[in-house]
Structure 1
Amino acid sequence: MEKLSRSLLRQIQVPANVTVGPLNLGPEQVLQFGEGNFLRAFVGWLFQQLSLAGKFSGSIVVVQPIAQGMSAAINDQQGLYTLLLRGLEQGQLVEKREIVTNISRALNAYSQWAEVVAVAESEQLQYIVSNTTEAGIVLDEQDQLAMQPPQSYPAKLTALLYARYQKFQGAADKGLVIIPCELIENNGKTLRQIVLQLATNWQLPAEFITWLKEANTFVSTLVDRVVTGYPREEAATICERLGYQDDLLVAAELYHLWVIEGPETLAARLPFREIGLNIIWTADQRKYRERKVRILNGAHTTGIPVSYQYGLDTVKEMMDNPVTGNFVRQAIYQEILPALADSDREALDNLAAEVINRFNNPYIKHYLLSILLNSSSKYRARVLPSLLDYQQKYQKLPRRLVFALSCLLNVYSLGEIVAGKLTCKRDKTEFAMQDDLATLELFTAIWQEYQQGLPLEQVTAKLLGAVQVWGQDLNKVPHLTEAVSKFLIEIKALGVKAVLDNMQK
C-alpha cells in the first residue's frame, strides 16, 4: 500500500465517508510547538474546520520542540494524517474520519533552528500555538539568547519574538497571538511572565520589553478532548479500508472544548463559534475551569480508587457495572453539582450528562490504574473543594466523596515502596501506585503504625492531619475524621466491594 501524500490523494478515490481538507496550502500563519497526538487531533483539526468553512486560508508549521520526535515522520507524509473521531452521539455509536491537510512542514528545533527563526520573522505569521507538556512552561535560568536553540520552550519563544522584533524594527502591527495549550492554570499569563523575566535576565532593550507587552497577545486557555493516539491494534485494518498507509493515524473522542481567555476582537479573527464549534471566548475562564475540574476530573478521581478496589480495570467497566456506575452518577448529581456555587444549572446539568456520555465511550480504553497516578494531589485539587463546599453549604458531609477519600487512603496501606513506587496487591495481582514520593513515604509510615497496633481512629487522624498533602488539617472538618475512620474500619473488615454493595443497597 502506498503511503499517504498529497499526490496520492489526487490520484485515488478516497472513501466517501472520509472528509479531506484543502490540498493546496495557504500561507504559513501558525507556528505550532509540539507535533504530538493531542495538537494534531485538537488544534490542527480545529483550524481545518475553519478552512473547510472558508474562514481561514493559512497553514501550520510544526516545530518538534525536543531533540527526539516525529518531525521526520510528518514530513515523510507531507504533513498529512488521518484523524478518527469516535464516540456516542444521542446514544448511537459514531465514527468520523478526516484527512487533515494543513501542516506545510515540520521542523526540528535542534537541527533546523535557523529555519524556525525564519518562520518567526515571516510577514505572514500570526499565531504561535504550543503544547510542550505541563513541565514545558518553566523558567530555566541556564537558558541564554545565544543558544541555538535555548533549552526551554519559554526561552525559545523569547528568542523568536526578539528576532521578529528586530526584523520589523518594533512595528506595533507585527506582534503575534500566543496560544498555549499546556494543562496548567493561567497558562498564557504564566508564559507571558516567564518571557518577560527572560527578556530582563538577558538584558534585552527596554523597547523590546514594551513591544512584548503592547504588541503581542498572550491568551490563557483550557482544552478538553481525550486523544488516545495511534490505534496500534486496529491500524492495519483501518489503512486497508482507507486504501493507503498512514503511519500518523490518530484517534480521539468526538467531544471537544476550547475555552480561550482573550479579547473579543480575537474571536472575530478566529471565528470558531460561527461554524458551530465548542469554543468559548471569555474575559475570565475560572468558572469553566472549575466546572471541568470538579465535574469531569472530580468524577474520575472519585470513582477510580473505589472502582479499582472493587475489581474493575477501565472507566467503561466502571460505568457499565450497576454498583460502581450508580455510585459515580450519584456522586456527580447528588454531591458534586450541589456543591458548586455556579448559578447556571442548565450548563452544569448539560456538562454532567456529557461527562457521563464520555465515560461510556466504548472506543476509549481508559485504564483506572493510569488515572490512579498521583491521586493524593488529584483528590486535593479535584474533589476536596467539592467536599468542603458541600459540608459548608449543607452542614453535613457528602457521603460518596468521603467514601472515595477512604478508599484512596486504603490504597496506601496495601503495599510497600519499591524503587519510588508503592507496590501493592489487589487480590493476588500486583500493581504499582505512583505518587509523590514524600506522600508515599508519609502514608506508608502511618499505615505501618496500624500494623503495629495503632487504632484506626488514630491512623485516620494522622492521615487527615497531613497538611503537606492536603494543604490543611482535615481533622478540623466537622465529623470527617469520624466518618473516614468508620469507613476504613468497614473496608478492613469486609473489603471495598462489600462496603460499596451495602452502601448502594
Structure 2
Amino acid sequence: LVEAELPVGAPPKSAWGVIYAALAMRVRRGIKPFTVMSCDNMPGNGSLAQRTLFEFASAKAMAGDIFAGEVSELITSGAVTFPSTMVDRITPATEQSHKDFIEQKFGIRDNWPVVAEDFKQWVIEDNFTNGRPLWEDVDEPPLLVPGEDVHVYESMKLRLLNGSHSAMSYASYLAGHRLVGPAMADPKIFGFVASFLDEVLPTVMKAPGVDLDAYRNKLLDRFSNPHIEDTLLRLAEDGSQKLQTTMRPVLLDHFSAGQEFRVMSIAIGAWIRFMTGIDEQGEAIHGVKDPAGGEKLKELAINVVADPNEVTVGILLKEYFGEEVASHPAATTLIAKAVKDISDQGITQVLERYAGKR
C-alpha cells in the first residue's frame, strides 16, 4: 500500500499518505501545519507516529517529491506536534451474544455493536500546535498532562490493568473458564488477581491525581462486570509481546528491590502451560493468537512443561523476557516450580491458596 503511494503524483491511500499529503498541501499554500494525535493503543504512540511519518516523508523525498524536504523539516523541528495519548477502557471484541442482547433489549439488529464498560480514562499530552479542541467545554473532558506524565499513566495501566488481564486469562482458561466475568466470580481467580495486583503495586509510580489503592479495587470491580462478556482468549492474545511490557519491567523492579514475585511466577507458569496448546483435560486450545511467538514459543513451552527446571525455563525466558530476566536465579527457580506445581497439582489446586483474598 505505502509503496504504491511513493511515486510523485500518486494518490494517497494509507493514513500516513493522507497525513503527508495534507502537510504537503499546507506547505504549497503557506498554511500553518497541524497536530497529529495518535490514538493507537500502544505506549509512546506519539513518538511512534512522528517516527513513522518522518520515514514516509523520507521515502517520498527519495522518490523525488519536491515538498518532502519541507515536510520532513516540519516533523523534526516541532512545527508539527505528536502528542502521546493513553486510553483506559475495557472494550471487548463484538460477539454474537452482544448482538442478541442489543436486539432483545432495544429491538435493534446491529451486526457490529461496540460494547464498553462505564469506566473510561483518556489521558492526552498537552502538546498541540495552532490550538487544540476545547475539551474543557464538554461534560467529561480528557485529562491533559505534560508529556512526561503520560508515561506514568501508561506504566500504571500496563502493569496493573494489562498485566492482571494477562495473568487472569491464562490461569482462568486452564481452570475451565472462558469469559472474564464468570472467571472473576470464582473466588480462587478473584483472589489470584487481587494478589497479583498487590504484588505489582509497590513497583508502580503514582500518577498525578490517582489513588493507587482505589484504582486497584476499581480494577477488581471492572473485571467482575458480568455484562461485558469479554473472552479470556482475547486477553490471552500476543502474550509473547504483552508480557514483555507488562510483567518484565515489574520483574526487574522486584530484582532491584529484593522483593518476592511468587504470584507473578504462577502467572508466567500458567502462560507457559497455556502456550503448549493443550488444556488440562488434554483438549486442544483453539483460537490461540500469538504470531510473534508462533511455533517456536509452543515448542519451548512444551519443553518446559515436559521438564520444568532452571535450564528449560531460562531458555524460554531469554527468548521472550531477555537475558536480564533469564539469568536471574530466583526467576528461573520460581517459574520452574510454578510450572511443575501446575502440571502436578492442576491450576485449580495451585490457586486454592488465594481463595478469599479481596
Task: Indicate the TM-score class for this superposition, using the shorter chain for normalisation.
Answer: 0.7 to 0.9
Conserved? CA contact 2:84–2:125, under 8 Å: yes
- The correspondence for 2:328, drawn from 465, 470, 477, is 477
Write the mapping of 1:257-296 to structure 2, written as runs, cut at 5 A. Answer: 257-263=121-127, 269-272=133-136, 275-284=139-148, 285-296=150-161
Aligned to 1:155: 17
Given candidates 185, 201, 204, the residue that maps to 2:43 is 185
**Residue number in structure 1 paired with 2:291:** 436
Query: If each structure's helix is expressed as a fraction of its own residues, which one has the higher value?
Result: 2
Write the letter of the residue equivalent to 1:320.
A
Query: 1:170 is matched with which residue?
Result: 30
Give, in angstroms, the shift of residue 245 of structure 1.
Answer: 7.2
Q: Is the 8 A contact 2:275 2:298 kept in 1?
A: yes
Give 1:299 deviation, angstroms. 1.0
CA distance in 2, matches of 1:282, 1:267: 16
Whole-Å Cα distance in 2 between the matches of residues 321 and 294 of structure 1?
23
Tell me the distance in 2 between the aligned counterparts of 1:375 and 1:287: 22
Describe the shift of the 1:265–1:234 C-alpha distance in structure 2 as closer, same or farther (beyond 3 A).
same
Structure-2 residue corresponding to 1:320: 185
Q: Secondary structure at the match of 2:141?
A: coil
Which whole-Å CA distance do the structure 2 matches of 1:449 and 1:228 have between them? 32
- RMSD of Structure 2 on Structure 1 (CA): 3.1
How far does residue 202 in structure 1 lie from its aligned partner after superposition?
2.1
Question: Contact 1:256–1:278 at 8 Å: present in 2 too?
Answer: no
Change (3 A) 1:143 1:468: farther
Query: Aligned partners of 1:450 and 1:218: how far apart in 2?
Result: 45
Structure 2 stretches lacking a partner, 5+ long: none
Distance change (3 Å), C-alpha of 1:149 and 1:500: same
For the pair 1:501 / 2:352, whether they are aligned, the reply is yes
Q: Which has the higher contact order (CA 8 A, sep 6+)?
A: 2
Change (3 A) 1:265 1:305: same
Matched, 1:366 2:225: no
TM-score w.r.t. length of structure 2: 0.83
Asked whether the equivalents of residues 182 and 226 of structure 2 are also in contact (C-alpha less than 8 Å), the reply is no
| Partner residue in 2 for 1:235 | 102
Are 1:177 and 1:217, in contact at CA under 8 Å, matched by a contact in 2?
yes
- Counterparts of residues 270-419 of structure 1 (less than 5 Å): 270-272=134-136, 275-284=139-148, 285-332=150-197, 334-342=198-206, 347-393=211-257, 395-413=258-276
Residues 1:462 and 2:325 are matched in the alignment: no
Amino acid at match of 2:263: R
Unaligned 5+ segments in structure 1 are 1-65, 67-139, 414-422
Shift of 1:392: 2.1
Q: For residue 311 of structure 1, report the CA deviation from its aligned partner.
A: 1.6
1:111-139 Cα deviation digits (max 9, x unpaired): xxxxxxxxxxxxxxxxxxxxxxxxxxxxx
Distance 1:171 1:387, change over 3 A: same
Q: Counterparts of 1:364 and 1:449 in 2: how far apart (Å)? A: 35
Aligned counterparts of 1:303 and 1:315: Cα–Cα separation in 2 = 8
**Residues 367/449 of structure 1: CA separation in 2 closer, same or farther (3 Å cut):** closer
Amino acid at match of 2:325: L
Distance in 2 between residues matched to 1:295 and 1:472, nearest whole Å? 24
C-alpha displacement at 1:445, in angstroms?
4.8
The verdict on how the C-alpha distance between 1:200 and 1:379 changes in structure 2, with shifts beyond 3 A counting, is closer
In structure 1, the residue matched to 2:81 is: 217
Q: How does 1:13-162 map to 2 (within 5 A)?
A: 140-144=2-6, 145-150=8-13, 152-162=14-24
Give % identity.
Answer: 23
- What per-residue deviation string (whole Å, max 9, x for no partner) do you get for residues 196-221 of structure 1? 33333323334444455554332221
Q: State the distance in 1 between where 2:187 and 2:300 align.
A: 36
| 1:20 aligned partner | none
Pair 382,266 (structure 1): closer, same or farther in 2 beyond 3 Å: farther
Aligned 8 A contact 2:152 2:206 in 1: yes
2:11 is aligned with what amino acid? Answer: Q
Q: Tell me which amino acid in the other structure corresponds to 2:117.
A: E
User: What is the CA deviation profile of residues 39-64 of structure 1, one whole-angstrom value per residue up to 9, with x for unaligned ones?
Assistant: xxxxxxxxxxxxxxxxxxxxxxxxxx
SS at match of 2:123: strand
C-alpha change, 1:397 and 1:214, in structure 2 (3 Å) is closer
**How far has the Cα of 1:274 moved from its partner?**
6.5
Matching residue within 403, 425, 433 for 2:279: 425
How far apart, in 1, do the equivalents of 2:26 and 2:304 lie?
61
